[in-house]
Amino acid sequence: KLREIPGVGKAIAEKIDELLQTGKLGFLENLKKEVPESLADWLQVPGLGPKKIALIWKTLNITLLSELEAAAKDGKIRGLPGMGAKSETAILEGIASLSRRSGRLPLGRAYPLAQEIIGQLKKVKGVVAAEPAGSLRRMRSTVGDLDILVAAKDSAAVMDAFVNLKGVSRVLGKGETKASIEFMDGVRAQLWVHAPEKFGTALQYATGSKDHNVALRQIALDKGLSLSEHSLTKTKGKGEILCATEEEVYKTLGLPWIPPELREDHGEVVAAKANKLPKLIQVKDIKTNLHAHSTHSDGKLSMLDMARAAAKRGLKVIAFTDHSVGLGVANGLSMERHKEQAAEIKKIQKQLGDEILVLHATEVEIKADGSLDYPDDFLASLDLVVASLHSSLRQPREKVTERLLKAVQNPHVDIIGHPTGREIPDREGADLDMEVILKAAAESGVAMEISAQPSRLDLDDMYARRAKELGVLLSINTDAHSENDLDMLHYGVAIARRAWLEPKDIINTWTAKKLTDWLKKRG
């Protein structure tokens, strides 16, 4: 019957038959004798295909990824037909990006995956609660693995559901209340099941960070208590306190509940003791989107549709920051085309009324020499200017810092977009002297962006927190190219929370009036 399937001929049918009968495939075994299996790893290196791999393997007689890397470093690839010094650099960069990729998982991938898993686990009978924990709950921009906590009286059913999730390739461990799995793409997830009356201590423990937990355990000890995953117990005599919620854990230790994004032992325990925790920014505080694209450059929606989508999400202002002329790949606008855009904004503003205010803006390229892609008088004529680095990111530290400084100090620039230019997980940001940049930003009054695009999250929390300390304003934007992108805002807000930012630190919390007054003053 196999041969009735379109595309399955005699050869394939025979192979399937052989696999089913013997569990082996002679054809594959022969191939494995001909071609070393480790060469398959090379295929993961971006830019390396079977032909080049065969050439390198047969001429240099190497088969391991580590040997390939060494050969590229020693300049042994450039002598091969069709290869040059550039190929060697490309191979080395490809291998470097591979090792980054196989390391930590971007939050933008981990978060939706965890939501999906949690949704599945919540359907299991007897599950009272299911929550993310670990670095995922603390919303780090990358996570090592997914930690998920479930409250249930009986663990068996939920453990089974977990190891049988769609896409699981390996079960790394499965006990009574703890299991660990690996998905096809190498992502790992852990499940911990606890009784509902102990869920508070369990969630607190598993959320971490490790350093935060160490600090809490010390506070517990000072109070004559020992804090564990299961409970708080008296160190002298008998007595056990069970906590169903995290609030009870912190309260028992004499502390207010600490938001997970702060739990890095970066001063939050001291602040909590003194009742001086920041009033962290929330998604609902954000009233404007000051970095968005339309079909005028590389966005997917017309300005009208995009503005409506933003208004639907409660935003009061949207700035269209389509790309500037030099970014040809993104259909950057000439000054001539800006006239059309200005006319269209006038028209759609009438249609939109006071639903949302549309600003005529630009995302202007910071060119390799530090100059901007439009002349100053043109920038002055726009409502708002975002300046961003998209090219020549690998310039030496001094040069690229100097280049960004020029943009920071240009009085017409209002926001520096995704300042380091990093892309998670493949591309590291420019080698900037951020301390110098942030001090200059404090002086010039330019706002530094926290890009909410999950592939950017740039500035990241450490820099954003330093920015606040130095008195720099921040701006959280989605850099939206589609309607869906508008829903990525919460990632940017999470990074801002990790940076201890409050509504007053972020220009997107301002009213339309306050914002436009600020923009006019800046010129």
Binder among 67, 145, 426, 433 for Ca ion (CB under 5 A): 145
248 binds ligand DGT (CB under 6 A): no
Binder among 479, 488, 495, 501 for Zn ion (CB under 5 A): 479
Could you list the beta-strand ranges (E) of 10-139: 105-106, 127-133
DSSP letter string over 213-260? HHHHHHHHHHTTEEE-SS-EEESSSS-EE--SSHHHHHHHTT-----G
- CA-to-CA distance for 65 and 56, rounded, in angstroms? 12
Binder among 209, 228, 331, 392 for ligand DGT (CB under 6 A): 209
Instruction: Tell me the window of 34-42, 133-141, 426-434, 509-517 that interacts with ligand DGT (CB under 6 A).
Output: 133-141
**Taking the complex as a whole, how short is the minimal distance between the CB of residue 140 and ligand DGT, in angstroms?**
6
Residue of 451, 438, 375, 449 whose CA lies nearest to 409: 438
Residue nearest to ligand DGT (CB): 208
- CA-to-CA distance for 42 and 218, rounded, in angstroms? 49
480 in helix, strand or coil?
strand
**Taking the complex as a whole, how short is the minimal distance between the CB of residue 38 and Zn ion, in angstroms?**
41
- What phi, psi does 192 have (nearest 5°)? -125, 125
- CA-to-CA distance for 59 and 81, rounded, in angstroms? 10
- CA-to-CA distance for 316 and 303, rounded, in angstroms? 15
**Taking the complex as a whole, how short is the minimal distance between the CB of residue 390 and Zn ion, in angstroms?**
9
**Taking the complex as a whole, how short is the minimal distance between the CB of residue 489 and Zn ion, in angstroms?**
15
Query: What letters, b where the CB count within 10 A reaches 16 and e where it falls short, cover 385-416?
Result: bbbbbbeebebeeeebbebbbbbbebebbbbb
Contact flags string 85-104 toward Ca ion, x per CB under 5 A:
--------------------
144 binds ligand DGT (CB under 6 A): yes
Name beta bridge partners: 189. 146, 181
- CA-to-CA distance for 463 and 499, rounded, in angstroms? 8
Binder among 213, 475, 477, 509 for ligand DGT (CB under 6 A): 213
Binder among 208, 260, 299, 492 for ligand DGT (CB under 6 A): 208
When CB distances are held under 5 to 8 angstroms depending on the partner's kind, the choice from Zn ion, Ca ion, ligand DGT, none that residue 208 binds is ligand DGT
- CA-to-CA distance for 367 and 127, rounded, in angstroms? 55
The first and second tokens of residue 207, run together, are 């959320």
Instruction: Tell me the window of 166-174, 195-203, 446-454, 475-483 that interacts with Zn ion (CB under 5 A).
Output: 475-483
Site size with ligand DGT, rule: CB under 6 A: 14
Binder among 97, 135, 289, 321 for ligand DGT (CB under 6 A): 135
When CB distances are held under 5 to 8 angstroms depending on the partner's kind, the choice from Ca ion, Zn ion, ligand DGT, none that residue 213 binds is ligand DGT
**Taking the complex as a whole, how short is the minimal distance between the CB of residue 143 and Ca ion, in angstroms?**
6
Report the chain's C-alpha Rg in angstroms.
27
CB-nearer residue toward Ca ion: 145 or 265:
145
Instruction: Tell me the window of 94-102, 140-148, 167-175, 232-240 that interacts with ligand DGT (CB under 6 A).
Output: 140-148
Chain centroid offset of residue 299 CA: 20
CB 164 within 8 A of CB 120: no
Instruction: Tell me the window of 235-243, 346-354, 363-371, 443-451 that interacts with Zn ion (CB under 5 A).
Output: 363-371
260 binds Ca ion (CB under 5 A): no
141 binds ligand DGT (CB under 6 A): no
Site size with Ca ion, rule: CB under 5 A: 5
Instruction: Tell me the window of 123-131, 192-200, 471-479, 482-490 that interacts with Zn ion (CB under 5 A).
Output: 471-479
Q: Give residue for tokens 């079977």.
A: 50
363 binds Zn ion (CB under 5 A): yes
Q: Give residue for tokens 């190929």.
A: 87
Strands 178-183 and 188-194: antiparallel
Instruction: Tell me the window of 4-12, 201-209, 296-304, 475-483 that interacts with ligand DGT (CB under 6 A).
Output: 201-209
147 binds Ca ion (CB under 5 A): yes
Here the contacts of 48-54 (C-beta below 8 Å, separation 24 or greater) are 48/91, 48/94, 52/82, 52/83, 52/87
Binder among 72, 114, 143, 301 for ligand DGT (CB under 6 A): 143
108 binds ligand DGT (CB under 6 A): no
- What phi, psi does 166 have (nearest 5°)? -65, 135
Instruction: Tell me the window of 247-255, 342-350, 463-471, 472-480 that interacts with Zn ion (CB under 5 A).
Output: 472-480
Binder among 67, 145, 182, 247 for ligand DGT (CB under 6 A): 145
When CB distances are held under 5 to 8 angstroms depending on the partner's kind, the choice from Ca ion, ligand DGT, Zn ion, none that residue 228 binds is none
Q: What's the half-sphere exposure (Cβ side, CA atoms, 13 Å) at 399?
A: 8
Measured in residues, the chain has a length of: 523
Task: Tell me which residues touch ligand DGT (CB under 6 A).
Answer: 134-135, 140, 143-145, 147, 205-210, 213
